[in-house]
Structures are given as C-alpha cells and as structure tokens.
Amino acid sequence: MNKQQLFENIQKKKSFLCVGLDTDIKKIPQHLLTEEDPIFAFNKAIIDSTAPYCVAYKPNLAFYESLGVPGLMAFEKTVAYLKANYPDQFIIADAKRGDIGNTSEMYARSFFDYMKVDAVTVAPYMGEDSVKPFLIYPESWVILLALTSNKGSQDFQFTEDVNGVRLFEKVLKKSQEWASDEQMMYVVGATQGKMFLEIRKHAPNHFLLVPGVGAQGGSLKEVAQYGMNDQCGLLVNSSRAIIYADNTPAFAEVAAVAAREVQEEMAIYLLEKGIIKA
C-alpha cells in the first residue's frame, strides 16, 4: 500500500488507529483455549469487530515467537486472514529487526517475499547496510525506531554528539539519505508529547507510527496537536487497551467499543485539521 492509499483510507475511515495484535495466550478469554488455534481465533474475532474503526494492524512477533511453531502459524494465518478479508488494512510486522547486510536480506525476504506484509519495524543501530536490504522492495515500508515510548528511550536516544545533535535526530537525518517518505516511516512514542514538534522539524512529511496511547498513558490529543501534518502523517497504535478491554465471551464487542472511542476522538482531530469534512 502506498502513502496516498494510506491517506485515503484514513480519510474514508476517519481514523488513524492501528490495532496492536499483541496476543498473549495468558490474557485471552478462557473459553477460547478449547479452540484448535486459540491465538488465531482471538485475532480473527478482534479483527472482525475492530476493522471498521482502524486502518492498520500491528502483530508483534514476540507474542507469536514465544509459542514456537504454533505461534508462527497463528501469525501467518492472521496475516493471510487480513489480506483476504480486509485488503485495505495496512499490516505492520512489529519485529524490530536489523543486522549485517546478508542477514537483513533474509529478514526482508521473510516479511516482504514470504509473509507479504506492508511494513516491518527496524532498529537503526547497525546503520545503513542493516536497513537498506529492506528497501529493495519498492512497495514495502521500513518503520525505523526514532524516539521510542519507553523509559529507556532516555538512555541513548537523547545523547548529543559534539555538535549538539541528539541521536534520534541523527537517525532521522541520516536515514533520509536511504529512502523517501514513500518508503520509510518512523516510530515515535506517544509518551514523548511535545517532542513531536522536534520530530516534525526533521521529518515534516513522513508517516509516524506512534505506540504508547492506552496502556502506556500517552496522550492522543498531544500526539495529534504536535504531530499531525496535512496528510495526517500518523498511525497511532493501541494494543492492550483495545484487545484486552474485556475477557468474557463478549470480548470482541467490548474491544470494538474501545476502538470506536479512539476512532471518534481521532475524527475530531482530523476534522479540526481540515483533513476530513463533517
């Protein structure tokens, strides 16, 4: 999916919500445990109920890999289900990959040739040759970690070089030599508040993947206020606050209510920015 199509979906759905499929066997409703594939059964129900309110899904590989082969099969089935039934949803494999060139090539092959997801999250730490193998797929996206939502973001990402350039700024500047805003997005945590103003100085047109609303306490209002551009430029992820809103047999309907609440707030911000009409 290209940038224009993503923008059009945002306008159509009046939403820039990404639902995070961080599916934990210990947290899903008990009654699903008798299903042949409980993880997939959970994901399918969540997708069917929340799809009207979001434009993207982000399964996080850690949750699937932790179950070994059955987990990976549930991941694969989830991606296939989305592609077959909701082709307008942007699919992000949250894998935070990146390694020496030939290894990154294999990571890229698994996500873009085999799984055929739209985007993969990549850590920038190992530099250009670790990121470029992901960029040879012209219709696929790299989402590079820039300023993350967690407390540890303070440890390295704010450190300054001799010219006072902070590490996250260096990531934003340098990586723009490798790909345009048609193929690269950045992760910026919702918990970073006013830092979105700084991010937008370096990346005015890029889409940002923004995790950290909901369970981590980031403010959607602030993200929209400081981070939204003329094409929205935001995909705001919420995982736990939506998918575990309830753990009774009504979990999917309650998740839909939680997703709709976020979508309705998003519609207000899109309207205020003139991106959609009333």
Ligand X SMILES: O=C(O)c1cc(=O)[nH]c(=O)n1[C@@H]1O[C@H](COP(=O)(O)O)[C@@H](O)[C@H]1O
**3-state SS assignment for residue 186:** strand
Q: Which of residues 162-221 bind ligand X (CB under 6 A)?
A: 187, 189, 211-212, 214-216
239, 251, 260, 269: which one binds ligand X (CB under 6 A): 239
The count of C-alpha atoms lying within 13 angstroms of the C-alpha of 192, restricted to the half-sphere facing its C-beta, is 26
Residues in the chain, total: 278
Shortest distance (Å) from residue 237 CB to ligand X: 5
120-150 per-residue burial string, b: 16 or more CB within 10 A, e: under 16? bbbbbeeeeebbbbbbebeebbbbbbbbbbe
Residue range at the interface with ligand X (CB under 6 A); choices 148-156, 159-167, 196-204, 269-277: 148-156
Q: Give the tokens for residue 239.
A: 């995982």
Choosing from 77, 83, 96, 116, the catalytic residue is 96
Nearer to ligand X, 59 or 133 (CB): 59
Q: Give the tokens for residue 240.
A: 């736990």
23, 140, 148, 183: which one binds ligand X (CB under 6 A): 148
Nearer to ligand X, 158 or 230 (CB): 158
The rounded distance, in Å, linking the Cα atoms of 152 and 167 is: 14
Residue 237 binds to ligand X (criterion: CB under 6 A): yes
Residue 98 binds to ligand X (criterion: CB under 6 A): no
Is residue 224 within 8 Å of 16, Cβ to Cβ? no
CA 112 vs. chain centroid, Å, equals 16
Question: For residue 222, which of 240, 256, 239, 199 has the smallest C-alpha distance?
Answer: 199
Shortest distance (Å) from residue 36 CB to ligand X: 25
96 is catalytic: yes
Residue 157 binds to ligand X (criterion: CB under 6 A): no
Is residue 197 within 8 Å of 164, Cβ to Cβ? no
Nearer to ligand X, 133 or 214 (CB): 214
Nearer to ligand X, 60 or 104 (CB): 60
182, 240, 247, 254: which one binds ligand X (CB under 6 A): 240
Residue 254 binds to ligand X (criterion: CB under 6 A): no
Residue range at the interface with ligand X (CB under 6 A); choices 64-72, 79-87, 236-244, 264-272: 236-244
Residue range at the interface with ligand X (CB under 6 A); choices 42-50, 128-136, 234-242, 267-275: 234-242
Q: Give the tokens for residue 264.
A: 């309705």
Shortest distance (Å) from residue 78 CB to ligand X: 14
Sequence-distant (6+) residues with CB within 8 A of 25 are 33, 38, 39, 67
50, 78, 130, 149: which one binds ligand X (CB under 6 A): 149
Sequence-distant (6+) residues with CB within 8 A of 277 are 271
Chain positions contacting ligand X, by CB under 6 A = 20, 22, 60, 94, 121, 148-150, 187, 189, 211-212, 214-216, 237-241
Annotated active-site positions, please?
96
